[in-house]
Amino acid sequence: MVSMKRMAAVAAVSMIGLSACSGTDSGSPAVPGEAKGGDLLAKAPVAAAADILPGSTMEKIKQRGELIVGGSLDAPLLSQQNPTTGEVEGFDADMGKALAKYIIGEPKVKIVNSASETREALLSNGTVDVVFQTYTITPERAEQVAFAGPYYSSGLTLAVRKGTAGIAKPEDLNGKTVIAGANTPAIPAIKKIAPQAKIVTFGSDPECMQALKQERGDAYVQDETLLVANAKKDPSVQVVGSPFTTDPYGIGLKHGDDQFKKFVNDWLKKIQADGLWQQTWKNSIGTVVQGEAPTPPQIGSVPGS
């Protein structure tokens, strides 16, 4: 298992090397943000006509000419709307656009701002085609929706105000007041690791950060990526330790649509193999997390996927 992972990592790294070499058009850093996203999608694959099976969900989406994605507009690095361009940017957002291009031939996406409490319902009644929203795969959820992937593996960690003493590891949260995003896996995770912690929840990440700074809690538990990005922007806050959970993110699909699930999984394998996945990571999460892109998780490797 370990050696497999290492091999995959080596493969991934060499892929990036290769794509970096072959990408002759990527050497124009004049307009970094936009050019990068555009480049990425220009390279994104399009499915063969034979893969769009007649009568399938893929065909329906292709005919509509737009992929309807359940997602967020306020998650930095993952899916955040740029107020100046109106574009939604980040890892999840780019993945959604790439999937749209794979199906339709163009990255045409409509993002429906789905809240954690409505994702299952939006999928099952067909309001959205897919959900890209740091949607952690769990067996309970897999009874309601289908998950392609996992397409990314993340973990929860904690942030505190700079200079806070006595919180070095998640167990230290016992007896403390802990801030968490409403409807995030942080809530059950805190209950498990520090049962005596008092949990206060707020709707969005900016609100949680504000609450932390205003001392409504001693620590803030959230996905490491988000916290690192926050800490970069705001030096009064620091990230403590390394992730203490593993959250495999899946692409939420309508329950029982095995054809579409296989199609999306095939696409994931393809973009992992050709380095697009890694490049997407570098353009978003990789701008704050040090080092090379991680090895993408193996498709179908967690219960519920």
Residues near another protein, by CB under 8 A: 116-118, 120-121, 138, 140-141, 143-145, 182-185, 187-188, 200-203, 207, 210-211, 214-216
Beta carbon of residue 272, minimum distance to another protein (angstroms, whole number): 27
Amino acid at 74: D
* For another protein, the closer CB: 144 or 259: 144
Beta carbon of residue 211, minimum distance to another protein (angstroms, whole number): 7
* For another protein, the closer CB: 89 or 247: 247
* For another protein, the closer CB: 103 or 190: 190
* For another protein, the closer CB: 7 or 121: 121
CA separation for the pair 120, 115 (Å, rounded): 10
* For another protein, the closer CB: 44 or 130: 130
Beta carbon of residue 267, minimum distance to another protein (angstroms, whole number): 25
* For another protein, the closer CB: 118 or 287: 118
Buried b (16+ CB within 10 A) or exposed e, 119-156: bbebbeeeebbbbbbbbbbbeebbeebbbbbbbbbbbb
Beta carbon of residue 199, minimum distance to another protein (angstroms, whole number): 8
* For another protein, the closer CB: 187 or 288: 187
Beta carbon of residue 105, minimum distance to another protein (angstroms, whole number): 33
Beta carbon of residue 189, minimum distance to another protein (angstroms, whole number): 11
Beta carbon of residue 176, minimum distance to another protein (angstroms, whole number): 15
* For another protein, the closer CB: 81 or 114: 114
Contact 242, 159 (CB under 8 A): no
Beta carbon of residue 117, minimum distance to another protein (angstroms, whole number): 5
CA separation for the pair 98, 141 (Å, rounded): 25
